[in-house]
Amino acid sequence: MLLLSFFMLADTTRAYSVPVAQAESLWVTEVGQGPPVVLIPGLFGSAYGFRHVLTLLEERGYRAIVVEPLGIGRSARPERGDYSLTAQADRVAVVLDHIKVRGAIVVAHSLNASVAFRLAYRRPELVGAVLSLDGGPAERATTSGFRRAMTFVPWIKWFGGVNLIRKKIRSGLVDVSGDTTWITDEVVAGYTAGAQSDLDGTLKAFLGMAAAKEREKLAPRLSEITSPVRILVGGVRHDGGLPRAEMETLKAGLRTLSVDTVAGSGHYIHEEQPEAVAGAVDQIARELAQDGQGVSPRHVLMRPDDPFWQTPAPDRFRAGFETTKGRFVVEVRRDWAPRGADRFFNLVRAGFFDDSRFFRVVPDFIAQFGLPGGPAVTRVWQDRTFPDDPERQKNLRGTIAFAMKGPNDRRTQAYINLRDNARNDGQGFAILGRVIEGMDVVDSLYSGYGETSGGGMRAGRQQRLLEEGNPYLDREFPKLDRILRAAIIP
């Protein structure tokens, strides 16, 4: 019996199919109980490929869940299915909704790391962190070499069918591995079990993957990923790994990225050194628990009811803003506006303002910011108003306050006064702090668009900005300056 049936040996194993659309279903395999870890196999993988990792995760107290994308493993293989990476991410989201999983550590191998990245920005509440196994921000569901190979599909059955596929799989595994001792006849049979059970369906699915076109580019959306990302890279030089250009794309786009090299391993780290994968999951879980709630500070952006947000601000604190024009520092005083100070303090320490835009800069008036770059985060916070504070300070040059549409309507948008603005006094704008360093940086923010790029909060003219976020602003108003990151200064 193939090791593919190894799951039957464990009493805690659950294996089932989840319908995700008409004629489409994904195969899911679970072991263990505890915090969720979702594993997404690569193009030639399946739950079988994670067999060693699953055992380790179960022993360490996790609920490990393998979701096989469409056309992979035991999942459906519709001939006319959408095999794009974005569509695959949306299907995984349907499965996680079905089994009520939120905030999971998502482990993904090779090209399907791109599925995990897409899931992280499209449905950020589902993803607590991403662990990529030698995979990057792929923009196609298959490699160019795979697409060339698919031109020979009509000859595969003629020249040996499954036996030919097994031969090619074996040689491919050997080529990309550092330690090849794991590649046995039984393993090759396990990796080709899907093709053996439905060769025609497998080949048609492969053709669908080769022809798939992405409706959405990943690279421009990486900055919307609020969860931390860690990449394990095989230390032995091998084919099929993460190209340097893709690594640079990740470094430039992601907010939180760490990279670890697994010495002696090639592309299949989960086969060659499964302990390294389980150890990385443990490390991520510890980091996610640093605030005591099992989530990272960034991930609480999707959890506005988390106790994190009830933390009172210090009596006086400073926040540093790194921008495309330089650095400025805001000093906030809680005695000026306690509710506003608390909201501002927690927004800064959660990374809410990171990679956002100064979307409304009106010369000799104000510079406004405070809408996140990702629409998913915007949707969560759009109705999270908080009560007014009494006005205790005047709108003098360099002071900062929350914007609003009316009484008790403050949310996340804030403005800095570029001059003494007496017209804002008595209107409910409670000053909470002032710029104490870098006011020249604030003065230099691009103001050429004036009210057109983000004005109209009270008149309801910010709809596209709210719905589309950074992609809309970057396309229509490319000269806007950005907040690269903001942090509380110790």
Q: How many CB atoms are located within 10 Å of the residue 192 CB? A: 23
Enumerate the β-bridge partners of residue 326.
323
What does the pLDDT read at residue 9?
Answer: 41
Q: Are 479 and 448 a contacting pair, CB within 8 Å? A: yes
- Give CA–CA dist 362/355, Å, rounded: 20
| 225 and 347 belong to one structural domain | no
| 286 and 348 belong to one structural domain | no
Name the token pair of 262.
Answer: 């697994």
Q: Flag whether 325 is in a domain.
A: yes
Work out how many domains the chain is built from and give that number. Answer: 2
Q: Flag whether 324 is in a domain.
A: yes
Q: How many CB atoms are located within 10 Å of the residue 249 CB? A: 17
| 140 and 25 belong to one structural domain | yes
Q: Find the DSSP H helices in 111-192.
A: 113-122, 144-149, 153-156, 162-176, 185-191
Helices 274-288, 51-59: inter-axial angle, 10-degree rounding: 40
Task: Name the phi and psi angles at 18, rounded to 5.
Answer: -120, 115
| 438 and 333 belong to one structural domain | yes
Q: Flag whether 98 is in a domain.
A: yes
CATH number at residue 375: 2.40.100.10
Does residue 361 sit in helix, strand or coil?
strand
Enumerate the β-bridge partners of residue 66.
29, 39
Domain final residue pick, 251, 279, 300? 300
HSE-CB of 413 using CA atoms within 13 angstroms: 26
Q: What is the mean pLDDT for each group of 10 consecutive residues in the chain (490 residues)?
A: 44 86 95 91 91 93 94 91 95 94 93 96 91 94 66 51 75 89 90 76 83 91 91 88 89 92 94 96 82 52 87 96 95 98 95 92 97 86 95 98 95 98 96 98 97 76 86 93 90
Q: Are 457 and 413 a contacting pair, CB within 8 Å? A: yes
Q: Are 482 and 367 a contacting pair, CB within 8 Å? A: no
Q: Flag whether 306 is in a domain.
A: no
Q: Are 353 and 381 a contacting pair, CB within 8 Å? A: no
Does residue 259 sit in helix, strand or coil?
strand
Does residue 264 sit in helix, strand or coil?
coil
| 283 and 316 belong to one structural domain | no
Name the token pair of 48.
Answer: 């079988």
| 279 and 326 belong to one structural domain | no
| 367 and 388 belong to one structural domain | yes
What does the pLDDT read at residue 485?
Answer: 86
| 204 and 237 belong to one structural domain | yes
What does the pLDDT read at residue 146?
Answer: 67
Task: Name the phi and psi angles at 128, rounded to 5.
Answer: -85, -35
What does the pLDDT read at residue 459?
Answer: 61
- Give CA–CA dist 227/351, Å, rounded: 11
Name the token pair of 53.
Answer: 């990792």
Domain final residue pick, 246, 274, 300? 300
Amino acid sitting at position 450:
G
Evaluate if pTM is beyond 0.85: no
Positive or negative: CA dihedral 285, 287, 289, 294: negative
What does the pLDDT read at residue 37?
Answer: 95
| Full residue range of the structural domain in which residue 65 is found | 3-300
Beta strands at 356-357 and 399-402: parallel, antiparallel or unpaired: unpaired
Q: Find the DSSP H helices in 308-457.
A: 338-349, 375-381, 439-443
| 284 and 373 belong to one structural domain | no
Domain final residue pick, 300, 330, 345? 300
CATH number at residue 258: 3.40.50.1820
| 280 and 320 belong to one structural domain | no
Sheet holding 63-68, edge to edge: 14-21, 24-31, 63-68, 36-40, 104-109, 127-133, 229-234, 257-262
Q: How many CB atoms are located within 10 Å of the residue 335 CB? A: 10
What does the pLDDT read at residue 341?
Answer: 98
Q: Flag whether 305 is in a domain.
A: no
| 264 and 376 belong to one structural domain | no
Among 440, 456, 444, residue whose Cα is nearest residue 480: 444
| 252 and 390 belong to one structural domain | no
What does the pLDDT read at residue 95?
Answer: 97
- Give CA–CA dist 382/385, Å, rounded: 8
